[in-house]
Amino acid sequence: MSAVVLGVNGGIEAPTGEIDAMCLELVGHAIEAIHAKRVVLDTIELLFSGLSDKFVVRAELARLFQWLKTKRVTAIVTGEREGEHLTRHGLEEFVSDCVILLDQRVMEQSATRRLRILKYRGSAHGGNEMPFLIDDHGLSVLPITSLGLTHQASTAHLSTGVIGLDAMFGKKGYFRGNSVLVSGTAGTGKSSVASHFVEAACRRGERCLYFAFEESPGQITRNMRSIGIDLEPWTRRDLLRVHAQRPTALGLEAHLVAMHRLIDDWKPRVVVVDPVTNMTAVGSEIEVKAMLARLIDFMKLRQITALFTSLTQGGAAAEQTDLGVSSLMDVWMLLENPEANGERNRLIQIVKARGMAHSNQVREFVMSDHGITLVNISRRADGSVAIGSARNAEEPGRSDDPKPSRRRRVE
């Protein structure tokens, strides 16, 4: 499909204030010469820069647009805003069939481009303002609405990768295609739970994409080795890719587009986002939640199982997330490390798990060089649960260091 791009420099109007017929003839000749179907006029302001009479401007605009229609071409005309008006003359939008408003705003030192269709004669169209991105792949428009609730619901299950945690999900783990949220304060083990899930996926031979917003790939690999999880072999076998980037490096829309492209190009079966709460550095809570809704629906349509970690602030109510995204998730696990008797011990509970029976217990877990292990519940005579050193005191000779689990070595 051919197109004519007309760059206006100095105007193409005649001394009488009308559009020069010679210029229109030249444009018409160019359209016919290449059988153009599209014409771009950039920009319209210079066409009528010498006219002050709005009635003449409107008449000439109408004549220009009508002339373009006689050529049976689709014409895109760019114009600049003037104050509160959509265009400099305040008339262009009335004679146009379709009006698209582009805007750019800076919030929290991050620039965001917005697009809105104000008018489209004879066609239904969305009136919402939508972010869009311009990069080396062109222009990408990101609707603020999610992709819809048309995805399939799988009955297959995936292991959590954590000893004892699958049993809390009826010995089955997560449904494939679930969105899983692991929330908790700093130091509760959220990334460790995520890495266990990653390792389990790689052992099944499934590709896993890990979006890290706090640590580099090397740091993640080093830290996970301290609990017996070696992610490097999976990276070498190209079953694991870690995409590490500070949230402030891009805007929300750019992050979303990058995630979409990486997922579409590599087609992983498992995705980890660690942590989603860091996105508040480049957007409001409402914007981040809208972004996550679109990302979740995008992955559900592809039957990708996604695990998100969320940092909650100390002192906040335990059963809430800083972004309020728990309602978007199929599974929500809460991690805690309360202080008692001069020590902190880690606890895990399943707050919700849609469509499956799950344990209602708050379980203690320990981390050693053999990974995360849930320990057996120890009840006192009064019915309360003993954890940490109190549990060891209740059961003499018991150790928090579980026996090494057999892990298949990956070369």
Let me know: does 216 contact 391? Beta carbons within 8 Å.
no
Number of H helices, E strands in the chain: 10, 22
Q: Any idea what the Cα angle at residue 291 is, between residues 288 and 293, rounded to 5°?
A: 110
- Residue 229 pairs in a beta bridge with none
Ranges of the chain whose pLDDT falls below 70: 1-23, 45-52, 83-92, 107-110, 142-148, 314-323, 379-384, 393-411
What is the reported pLDDT for 62?
A: 77
What span, in angstroms and rounded, lies between the C-alpha atoms of 118 and 48? 24
What is the reported pLDDT for 323?
A: 60
Let me know: does 304 contact 155? Beta carbons within 8 Å.
no
What is the reported pLDDT for 156?
A: 92
With 0-12 / 13-18 / 19 or more C-beta atoms within 10 angstroms meaning exposed / middle / buried, residue 260 is middle
What span, in angstroms and rounded, lies between the C-alpha atoms of 44 and 209? 47
What span, in angstroms and rounded, lies between the C-alpha atoms of 12 and 6? 11
Q: Which part of the chain is CATH 3.40.50.300?
A: 3-96, 157-394
What is the reported pLDDT for 410?
A: 44
What span, in angstroms and rounded, lies between the C-alpha atoms of 68 and 27? 10
With 0-12 / 13-18 / 19 or more C-beta atoms within 10 angstroms meaning exposed / middle / buried, residue 393 is exposed
pLDDT in tens, 174-194: 999 999 999 999 999 999 999
What is the reported pLDDT for 15?
A: 43
What is the reported pLDDT for 320?
A: 56
Q: What percent of the chain has pLDDT over 90?
A: 35
Fold of 3-96: Rossmann fold (3.40.50)
Instruction: Tell me phi and psi for residue 242, to 5 degrees.
Output: -110, 120
Fold of 157-394: Rossmann fold (3.40.50)
The Cβ of residue 175 has, within 10 Å, a number of other Cβ atoms equal to: 21
Can you read off the two tokens belonging to residue 376?
């057996």
Residues in the chain: 411
